[in-house]
Amino acid sequence: MKKVITYGTFDLFHEGHYNLLKRAKDLGEYLIVGVTTEQFDEYRGKVNVIDSLMERIERVRQTGFADEIIVEDHLGQKLDDVQKLGIDIFTVGSDWVGAFDYLKDYCEVIYLDRTKDVSSTMLREKNQKIIKIGIIGSGRIAGRFMPEAKNVSAINIEAVYNPRIESAKKFGKKFDLDVYTDNWDFFLSKIDAVYIASPHNAHYEYIKQALTADKHVLCEKPMILNKTYAEEVFALAKEKNLVLMEAIKTAYAPGFIKLLNIAKMRSIGKIYDVEACFTRLASGNIRELKPEENGGSFTELASAPLLAVIKLLGKDYDGLRFESFTDKNGVDIYTKAYFKYKDSLATVKVGLGVKSEGQLIISGSNGYIIVDAPWWKTQGFEVRYEDTNKNEKFFVKYLGDGLRYEINEFAAMINKNDDKNRYKLTAGESIAIAEIMERFLTWRRKSE
Ligand code: CTP
């Protein structure tokens, strides 16, 4: 019996998929179809798959061509499957010509002509209402957003706004945007959602104005430096049924989500301590070091470490105190925040003027997790035990600058318009971070 195998995502099942499976079946007597998991697709950089794994499997099953359906969830699996399942022919569409020639040592490899003018990508774009995004601010982070946004097919960057028209124009020209403006109403008329990348002090007003104008909001971190304001804007978003999301990119990174899941499985036992460090040296006459712009190590860098603490230990700490070294302007160039929970501790260590190892350590009663620097990308971590034979290492891909994960989440939340995905960073968690920022700034002012 001639065994044939083929693989694919089979998202939004279409005629091209049908034709391929039909011809694949005709190549032999028994057809095995491998369908990719969400995680594997994400790993391969396909972050916008719409149908669930079960839906995609079901569509393949309904064609009646597959004698067996398997799940493809890791790199290198194809070679393993071909040997293990005794495959005679491996086949995929002609878009892959050459890519699987390495299997020729084990079976016949056939690239079948691709059906013209149809693909999941085309259908996704056709079915989806593309979300038109406008960028507020045109600084460094806005520049990083542009290439990352290209990886998310559900959105399109339409416009940039800056009250300083020259900056808006420069940015617009650089990134080939038709609309660059200092006219707020004109800007809003062009878009469905905003990405706020302005200096922190302007965030609150922009968020309020954008929500009031019925626009969804993705706002750079720290979103707001005040608890009451944070509560107010989240309440407004809820009332208007709009998405408001804080752009702490770590929260949406696949590696960080995996890390949280593993930490919460409690293989390291009860978590007693979380230590998170983030430093980035900065100097000169820059916003990050200006007290009037709420610059300083804590406001600039603590969002991701605070996210780790709150995700792992919760929002209900009993005590919080700070220690800082400040420069001549009263801006903290190094800060440590000490959290005391009922039965655990946490430290956040940040520096614009002190360099240290950017690592995260989660200590528990059975073992600890150490995340390699820079931990906020969470590409690799190790779970370590007293008995070192039990140690386990994990690696998770982090593509590009990582902003694509938060942009994708933002688009998914808008398109689905439900609460399903909001666990990655909840409104309550963002408000808790705003409150900590506020407490820090109050303490810093008092200790001047
Ligand atoms: N395929 C095909 N003709 C098409 C589209 C896909 O023959 N018009 C084949 C692919 O070559 C592959 C299989 O169908 O062997 C599954 O492809 P998949 O990547 O799931 O589909 P695409 O439509 O190419 O998806 P995307 O646009 O997300 O890349």
What average pLDDT values come out for the chain (448 residues) when binned by 10 residues? Answer: 97 97 98 95 82 96 98 96 97 96 97 96 83 95 94 91 97 96 98 96 97 98 98 96 96 95 92 98 93 95 98 98 95 98 98 97 98 97 97 93 93 74 88 98 90
For ligand 1, atom 16: residue with the closest CA: 8
For ligand 1, atom 17: residue with the closest CA: 8
Q: Which helix (H) or strand (E) holds 215?
A: none
Would you state the pLDDT for residue 421?
A: 54
Would you state the pLDDT for residue 417?
A: 57
CA 223 distance to own-chain centroid:
16
Residues 351, 289: contact at Cβ < 8 Å? no
Distance from residue 57's CA to the centre of ligand 1 (Å):
15
Q: N- to C-terminal Cα distance for the chain?
A: 82
Mutation test residue for ligand 1: of 13, 17, 56, 90, the one with most atoms within 8 Å of CB: 17
Would you state the pLDDT for residue 217?
A: 98
Question: Ligand 1: residues within 6 Å at CB?
Answer: 8-11, 16-17, 20, 92-93, 95-96, 114-115, 118-121
For ligand 1, atom 11: residue with the closest CA: 93
Would you state the pLDDT for residue 125?
A: 79
Distance from residue 96's CA to the centre of ligand 1 (Å):
9
Minimum-distance ligand 1 atom for the alpha carbon of 46 = 28
Distance from residue 145's CA to the centre of ligand 1 (Å):
29
Beta-strand ranges (E) seen in 192-283 are 193-196, 216-220, 244-247, 271-279
For ligand 1, atom 14: residue with the closest CA: 17
Minimum-distance ligand 1 atom for the alpha carbon of 6 = 15
Measured in degrees and rounded to the nearest 5, phi and psi for residue 339 equal -105, 140
Residues 204, 223: Cα–Cα separation, whole Å: 8
Distance from residue 120's CA to the centre of ligand 1 (Å):
7
Minimum-distance ligand 1 atom for the alpha carbon of 112 = 7
Residues 299, 94: Cα–Cα separation, whole Å: 51
Would you state the pLDDT for residue 200?
A: 93
Residues 304, 360: contact at Cβ < 8 Å? no
